[in-house]
Structure formats: structure tokens, C-alpha cells
Amino acid sequence: MPSAKVLELNKAKVAALKEKIDAAVAGVLVDYKGITVEDDTKLRKELREAGVEYCVAKNTLIRRAIEGTALEAMDDVLNGTTAIATSKEDYVVAAKILSKFADGHDNFTVKAGFLDGEVISLAKVDELAKLPSKEQLLATVVFAFQAPMASFARAIQAIIDKGGETAEEAPAEEAAPAAEEAPAAEETPAE
């Protein structure tokens, strides 16, 4: 039987894991068995830079952390080696990084995922991985707002480049022949 110290330590780990999962908008569970220390270090660095928390946890501790929640449905994948990646702000970044890593490593597999406290299928995790990142989406929105303003600025610049003349400001000599031709067209008899 484990000592009181070990039980308290495990309770603290479960509480920290539960807090991390509850604060996350998205998360992915993976089987990391067989990856090298070098690959693991690179993966952790990439996840950290993207704002994703990644940790290896015992399956029993994860079970206790998700006990009584909708995430309890992930219990069937909690076997073997398990690591969990959670993101507090970005829905796609963890799935994107881990799915890309899994594609390049035979031993590394995605087990399950969750969004807003609900379990999602592996197909949904793959779909998330294919979505553009938050930064790419924001850049697209900014470009969409910026395009009309840039077109307007180019039109104004074209007017300035032509000497600032518009149809209303055209010299009187150019406007006079057009005015003389209009009445002549009205005077021609109809056949």
C-alpha cells in the first residue's frame, strides 16, 4: 500500500492535471512510445513556443482527473504510454503540431482529442490539424479588411499622378466640343 506521502503527491498531481484540462479549450492525447529523446525535446520546444502545455502522465492519474466529466469517454484509450497536450486559447495548434509529428514518426500516434470539454473523434482531430492556425486566420481577416482600403488609396494616387484632373475639373476647351456636338445630334431629322 502506498505511503501517505505518495498518496498526497498523487492527489496534487491529479488536481494539477484536472485544472490544466478544465482550463483548456482543446487537448490531444498521444502515445509517445518509441520516440527518441532528441525528437521529444524538439516536439516539446515546438509545443511550448506555440503556447501548448505538454506532459507525460500516468493513465490512472488522467482517469482520476477526468472522472465525472464528459471527458470520461476517453477512458478506453488510456492504456500504454500517454502524454497530454492542452491549449488554453488556440483550438487547432496542439492537433496541428502533434498530427504533423505523428505523420513523421511511426511509433508516435494520436489517441484522442477534446474541444471545450467534449471528446472528439480521431477524424475530428485530423480535421483540426488541417485548419489554418489562429495567426493565419487573423492575417486573412486583416487582408480582407485592408484590400478595399488599398484599392481606394491606389485610385487616389492615380488621380494625383494624372495631375489631379477629374471629369469635373477638365479644361473648358475640352468640354466645349462635347457640348457643341450634343445639340447637332438632336437637330437631325428622324427618318
The pLDDT assigned to 84 comes to 94
Residue with cell 464528459: 70
* Domain parsing of the chain, residue ranges: 4-131, 136-187
Structure-block grid coordinates of residue 74: 476517453
Q: How far apart are CA 108 and CA 181, in angstroms?
A: 81
Q: How far apart are CA 127 and CA 105, in angstroms?
A: 19
Pairing mode, if any, of strands 83-87 and 118-120? Answer: unpaired
Question: For residue 103, what are the β-bridge partners?
Answer: none
Grouped pLDDT means (10 residues each) for the chain, 191 residues: 82 91 92 90 93 92 90 89 91 91 89 90 86 76 79 84 63 49 50 46
The pLDDT assigned to 179 comes to 47
pTM: predicted TM-score of the whole model, two decimal places: 0.66
The pLDDT assigned to 185 comes to 47
Count other Cβ atoms within 10 Å, centred on residue 125: 25
Count other Cβ atoms within 10 Å, centred on residue 148: 9
Structure-block grid coordinates of residue 114: 477534446
Phi-psi region of 188 (alpha: psi -120 to 50; beta: other; left: phi over 0): beta
Tell me, which fold does domain 4-131 have in CATH? Alpha-Beta Plaits (3.30.70)
